[in-house]
């Protein structure tokens, strides 16, 4: 594929839809609440562990597989609905469910009760991302889509920032159960704002592609996706990164608290700023760089993730070896800055590599794999490894588990480099679908 053809594919647009900035910011706010409700649990793991008398494997299940199974599995049928129905209304319903179930988490007095509430959060959050990324892709042209989805992805970082700080502050003042009430209830008000101020955009309005009116059958969509080589390699690379990143996201706070003998309130603000604030900045900046590079050659979509992964790896290793908590924070700056980029570019790819009415499904399929394998597998596997090393007498079992997890980052780089070889060809194939 020549560079001129690639540039034309990115540049083909019509007039910018009115009000799209508001829609993007509103959906980013929704995604922020998504991650506040999801990640507030992370900063509270140590007091919850002590209160409910849990082990690391149970914490891994609570934050990983149990949540992920519902989140991933329901995302596919909801995406099918989004490719056929009103995406705004789906987001409103999802927001009401996950916010309500977050508030109910504060009523848990036994492990199984908290487990059921987190399942409910997973059910609700399954309806957030597929319709949102589909709407954004109808408002932002290919040449600016990675930037727009980078802005949307800042919801992850901002949610972590707010969730960590909110959780630490409320826990210190009122206990861990109150933190879930404070996190969940405002989402119900946000659902009303989305319902009455966001309009459903026309599909494909910002591109020269046109909506054919009906989504293809699921078997046809799956056959098309499985025929996109770059999509599959990108998916494999991102899944490996997702396992590692979610293991670190869930257990970084616990690692610091155990290693340096501090409490949730001591680490909540520094980690919130690093993982959330610095990570959000990185998602936008690197998304913009990716768009600039991709105008000349689309292989930079997956290659940007590969380069970022290679840069983060030694810093993540040194974070685990740090002798003081201040040094640990310093080593974590680079991994935090580039930690969210794989998600924004993965969302971008899931929109570019399929037809117009395959977009929500492609996003959900990507999300299904990332969630079930990454969000589900990462914390669960890390928790199991930690308990395994503890049983063997390892003095720092959680640290040892996270060191082992980093091997997956190294493997991901090869898949991402392979994805770049056919990315431009597959984008052209997708454009021919509509």
Which domains occur in the chain, in start order? 14-208+217-431 (1.20.1250.20)
Contact, 368 vs 76, CB < 8 A?
Answer: yes
Rounded distance, CA 418 to CA 434, Å?
26
Rounded distance, CA 71 to CA 420, Å?
29
Contact, 347 vs 366, CB < 8 A?
Answer: yes
Query: Tell me: the pLDDT tens digits for 375-430?
Result: 788 888 998 999 999 999 999 999 999 999 999 999 999 999 999 888 888 888 88
pLDDT at 191: 93
Using H for helix, E for strand and C for coil, what is the string for 202-253?
CCCCCCCCCCCCCCCCHHHHHHHHHCCHHHHHHHHHHHHHHHHHHHHHHHHH
Classify residue 273 by its DSSP letter.
I
pLDDT at 60: 81
Contact, 412 vs 240, CB < 8 A?
Answer: yes
Contact, 215 vs 83, CB < 8 A?
Answer: yes
In the block, residue with structure tokens 């899931």: 350
pLDDT score of 26 more than 70 = yes
pLDDT score of 233 more than 90 = yes
Query: Tell me: the pLDDT tens digits for 61-107?
Result: 887 777 778 777 776 777 777 777 788 999 999 999 999 999 999 99
Handedness of CA 340, 34, 360, 197 (dihedral sign): negative
The verdict on pTM exceeding 0.85 is: no
Taking residues 41-56, what's their average pLDDT? 88
pLDDT score of 142 more than 50 = yes
pLDDT at 208: 54
pLDDT at 209: 52
Higher pLDDT, 137 or 41: 41
- The band of 5, judged by pLDDT with boundaries at 50, 70 and 90, is very low
Query: Tell me: the pLDDT tens digits for 262-313?
Result: 988 888 889 889 888 888 888 788 878 888 888 888 888 889 999 999 999 9
pLDDT score of 360 more than 70 = no
């Amino acid at each position: 594929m020549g560079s001129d053809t690639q540039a034309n594919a990115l540049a083909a647009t019509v007039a910018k839809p009115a009000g799209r900035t508001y829609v993007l910011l509103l959906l980013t706010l929704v995604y922020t609440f998504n991650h506040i409700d999801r990640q507030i649990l992370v900063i509270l793991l140590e007091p919850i562990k002590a209160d409910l008398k849990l082990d690391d494997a149970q914490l891994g299940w609570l934050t990983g597989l149990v949540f992920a199974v519902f989140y991933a599995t329901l995302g596919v049928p909801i995406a099918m609905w989004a490719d056929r129905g009103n995406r705004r209304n789906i987001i409103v319903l999802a927001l009401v469910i996950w916010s309500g179930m977050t508030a109910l988490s504060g009523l848990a007095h036994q492990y199984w009760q908290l487990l059921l509430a987190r399942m409910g959060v997973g059910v609700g959050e399954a309806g957030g991302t597929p319709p949102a990324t589909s709407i954004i892709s109808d408002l932002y042209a290919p040449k600016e889509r990675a930037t727009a989805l980078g802005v949307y992805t800042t919801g992850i970082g901002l949610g972590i920032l707010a969730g960590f700080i909110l959780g630490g502050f409320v826990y210190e003042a009122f206990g861990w159960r109150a933190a879930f009430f404070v996190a969940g209830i405002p989402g119900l008000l946000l659902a009303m704002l989305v319902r009455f101020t966001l309009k459903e955009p026309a599909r494909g309005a910002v591109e020269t592609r046109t909506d054919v009116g009906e989504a293809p059958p699921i078997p046809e969509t799956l056959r098309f996706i499985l025929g996109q080589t770059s999509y599959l390699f990108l998916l494999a690379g991102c899944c490996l990164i997702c396992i590692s990143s979610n293991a670190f996201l869930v257990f970084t706070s616990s690692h610091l608290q155990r290693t340096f003998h501090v409490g949730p309130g001591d680490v909540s603000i520094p980690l919130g700023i690093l993982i959330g604030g610095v990570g959000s900045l990185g998602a936008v900046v690197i998304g913009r760089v990716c768009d600039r590079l991709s105008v000349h050659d689309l292989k930079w979509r997956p290659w940007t993730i590969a380069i970022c992964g290679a840069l983060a790896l030694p810093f993540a290793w040194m974070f685990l070896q740090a002798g003081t908590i201040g040094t640990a924070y310093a080593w974590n700056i680079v991994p935090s800055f580039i930690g969210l980029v794989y998600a924004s570019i993965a969302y971008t790819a899931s929109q570019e590599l399929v037809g117009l009415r395959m977009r929500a499904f492609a996003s959900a399929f990507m999300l299904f794999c990332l969630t079930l394998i990454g969000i589900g597998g990462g914390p669960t596997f890390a928790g199991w490894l930690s308990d395994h090393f503890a049983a063997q007498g390892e003095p720092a079992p959680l640290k040892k588990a996270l060191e082992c997890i980093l091997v997956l980052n190294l493997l991901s780089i090869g898949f991402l480099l392979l994805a770049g070889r056919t990315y431009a060809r597959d984008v052209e194939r997708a454009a021919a679908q509509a």
